[in-house]
Chains A and B, each alone.
Chain A
Amino acid sequence: MEDSPNKEELRIGVYICHCGSNIAGVIPPAEVAEWASHLPGVVRATDTLYACADSGQSLIKEDIKKYNLNRVVVSACSVRMHETTFRGAVSEAGLNPFLMEMANIREQCTWAHGHDKEGALRKAKELTAAAVAKAHFLAPLEFITVPVTKRAMVVGGGVAGISAALDLADQGIDTILVEKEPTIGGVMAQLNKTFPTMDCSI
């Protein structure tokens, strides 16, 4: 467990994404990168046009090898957008995926503070610093593997539910189609013909 303090020397790489003009239109990513390069533990900091693009991911992967990075910080968009992407990238380069941390400087910074560029810049730097700080204390983790019951349930027997059930069943998956009414069909069964082709609904 991560009870024992991190004894290994931390080598953090920081990547500041431009996201085209989405971020770079409000703040200068290069300045954030330069600033981040002075943070303790950071051995590599640079800006990149699109961190999520192939070129951005390759840069990170190459840097992990070149600079012997053991932590990666990506200042870009929301974790809801690309956490999986960057976890994948670092693990392809041999780093545990949980040693990557993101700072959200797009949705929660440049997009929300277009009216205050100076404030946005300060915030982007500090969000990056916070991600670096968290990265410092990240520990490698392994995904938990669970077994899969090979049965599906579709709740609702309207046109969407029937489509899903048929497709699952055609894939060979045992599927339970649950409907609260005595018949399946839903609203669709009540309709006359349907647009724009005027097919019968049933």
Chain B
Amino acid sequence: MVDAARHPKIDVRTYTNVERVEGYVGNFKVQLREKARLVDVDRCNGCGECAKVCPIEVPNYFEMNLAPRKAAYVAMSQSVPLKYTIDEEACIHCYKCVEACGPLDAIDFSQEDKVVWEDIGSIVVATGFNHFDPSVIPEYGYGRFPNVITAMEMERLNNSAGPTVGNLIRPGDGKNPQRLAIINCVGSRDKRFNPWCSNFCCMYAIKNAVLLKQANPEMEISIYYIDIRTPSKGYEEFYERARGMGIHFIQGRPSLITQDDNTGNLFVHSEDVALGRVIEKEYDMVMLNQAAVPQPDVDTVSSVLNISQSPGGWFMEYHPKLRPVDSPTDGIFLAGACQGQKDIPASVSSGLACASRAGRILHSEEWQIEPIIAQVWEDRCISAQGKQCGLCAKACPYGAITVETGKAAQVTTAKCHGCGGCVAECPHNAITQMHFTDAQILAQIRALLAEKPEEKIFAFRCQWCSYGGADLAGTSHFDYSANERGIRVMCSARMDSDFIYEAFRLGAGAVLYSGCHPQDCHYITGQRVGATRADRLMKAFEKMGMSPGRFRVEWISAAEGDKYSRVINEMQETLNAIGPEKLHEENEMLRPEMEKRARRMYEVPLVTEASDYSDEMRQAMSDMEEPHGS
């Protein structure tokens, strides 16, 4: 901690929030709000005279609210920086602190929040995790039974820097407990709350047990567990040591804690799985080893930094094995437990990995980004012909397009992130997206629907979420119908209505339109553009008399492999229920309308060529089919 504050290359900004992030790799602009501390940090010497005279006491979050702090405070004595803060919500403005500070004159009630912008090349997100609140599990009585405490409360109670100076006492009556139960998996591995294993709690329980046993060998300590997980270096040895010290390990997840109101003692009811018997044991104190959960403000942070979330609210990495500390956004990295529950060694490792990944960018003079950006065909843009339009600019989440009547729309290359929303929104087919041109996509659609189209479930998937979801379905071996045929575009915003019409015109059995959940969109608002279009299409198809379920819109994240598989299987069932005859009939009925609607696409350069090529390919495919006769 102190090293960080002293390092000449590190500028520590405490009491500061990140409010906005703009730009792209190598060129981020970050808006910070430095909250008013009401203390001039340059003048404050950390003497603490202000706190001494402050008459207001409020619970100290740092001590898990087990001890008070003043309204003028440092959360802990080793605070970095050692600068006092005045908690404006608690302060009654008696100004005794101003008096106490005297000639140092560090207290400044006129201070206001300061908003600053910083130019940044790369960002490391290390926003951490939170602790599960066990009071929602009524059977453990936390909040009702004073001697049931959380693991973090134990940390403070058994800490020489804590409120009891390391003298472990029961909150109920101040007695020193002689019998302690530690209950693991409180809110972890529990589908009612958090399905995940919180990773560090087994070791954490053992650590606390060992510390307490060392200090007081007479103490009786039992750890209740479902499984003990000690997979890292030195961990199993540590567990062995704890067993050797006489700490009891009881396999069995307690179902109930009851309290003797007279003594304040607690009775833990569990099965001893090894015995196959229900046991009820009496303790002086119970420690609940809470689950690690995402921070409560995870939604705000993920929308400010534009990072998607895994189920449960952890930040999502680009690839769990190959790029575990990269966020899906180039230049933003994920360190520590914000990406998933981690212990200290793992958090430090990922922090160092982020430094290396970010350093890779920051040591370069320049950085290359994929040229999959939008380009305008100036002669096709109606703005150039003096007409009012600007739909492309409206669709752009980055303000990368400027439209001025009389001039063709202009794309600012550096600002374009390549979602393709403008391309799909342009009613005059005047914009294209490099590497995802209409001709390229059409060629793919046609190849995939060349044979037996009515059997196919055609899936449009965005690169960041649904394509990842389909990958995960495979990685997890969630089998789904092999009639699925998918293509990838960068964002659901790129899924042009024309593509959907074309797929149905070609006779596709069903079409899936899928992208990120709104809050996960890699292109801020790209998904919204896509979703609005999908709604419109849904209504149009309904009106045309298409059977329900043939066009389906689903938002599937990269973590929802099971959902991808389920959706495809459900679509297959829909097709089975409709049956080939009715499908064929319906397609014949719909074809003229689809043809009419898809026709405009052929104005786009190379689309006609793509269509001709597809015919050639289809011929080749059917020639191959014949000799095999399958």
Contacts and interface: CB of A to CB of B under 8 A. Distances in A.
B29 to A, nearest CB: 9
Nearest to B379: A3
Interface stretch (B189-197, B246-254, B261-269, B354-362): B354-362
Interface string B405-448: 00000000110000000000000000000110101110110111
Interface of A: 1-3, 5-6, 35, 38-40, 78-81, 98, 104, 106-116, 119-120, 122-123, 126-127, 129-134, 136-139, 141-198, 201-202
Contacts of A107: 470-475
Nearest to B85: A182
20 contacts: A39-B620, A122-B482, A126-B451, A127-B448, A133-B610, A144-B370, A144-B413, A147-B365, A150-B362, A152-B362, A153-B28, A153-B122, A163-B355, A164-B352, A166-B355, A173-B358, A183-B76, A187-B129, A187-B152, A189-B76
A116 to B, nearest CB: 5
Contact of A202 (B1, B333, B477): B1
B122 A157 contact: no
The 7 closest A-B pairs by CB, nearest first: A160-B336, A119-B482, A163-B351, A161-B126, A167-B355, A107-B474, A111-B474
B443 A134 contact: yes
B367 A148 contact: yes
B235 interface: yes
Given A143-B370, A190-B152, A197-B234, A178 B351 contact: no
A192 B158 contact: yes
Given A130-B448, A148-B362, 17 more contacts: A40-B617, A123-B483, A133-B610, A137-B443, A155-B301, A157-B126, A160-B336, A163-B352, A164-B351, A165-B4, A170-B9, A178-B13, A180-B16, A181-B15, A185-B79, A193-B211, A196-B234
B118 A111 contact: no
Contacts of B83: 182
B473 A155 contact: no
A145 B365 CA distance: 10
A116 B479 CA distance: 9
A114 B366 contact: no
A143 B450 contact: no
A178 B18 contact: yes
Contacts of B593: none
A104 to B, nearest CB: 7
B468 interface: yes
A42 to B, nearest CB: 9
A112 B14 contact: no
Nearest to B234: A196
A3 B76 contact: no
Nearest to A42: B620
A133 B367 contact: no
A153 B318 CA distance: 20
Given A127-B448, A138-B435, A156-B336, A79 B366 contact: no
A190 B471 contact: no
Given A168-B359, A187-B128, A159 B18 contact: no
A160 to B, nearest CB: 2
Contacts of B365: 147-148
Contacts of A186: 128
B510 interface: no
Contacts of A170: 7, 9
A193 B214 CA distance: 13
A196 B474 contact: no
A129 B617 contact: yes
A157 B4 contact: yes
B13 A179 contact: yes
A156 B1 contact: no
Contacts of B9: 168-170, 172-175
B301 to A, nearest CB: 8
A176 to B, nearest CB: 5
A161 B336 contact: yes
A90 to B, nearest CB: 14
Highest count of chain B CB atoms <10 Å: which of A171, A176, A182: A182
Nearest to A121: B482
Highest count of chain A CB atoms <10 Å: which of B27, B78, B439: B439
B173 interface: no
A192 B337 contact: no
B14 A126 contact: no
Contacts of A165: 4, 7, 10, 124, 355
A109 B626 CA distance: 24
B159 interface: yes
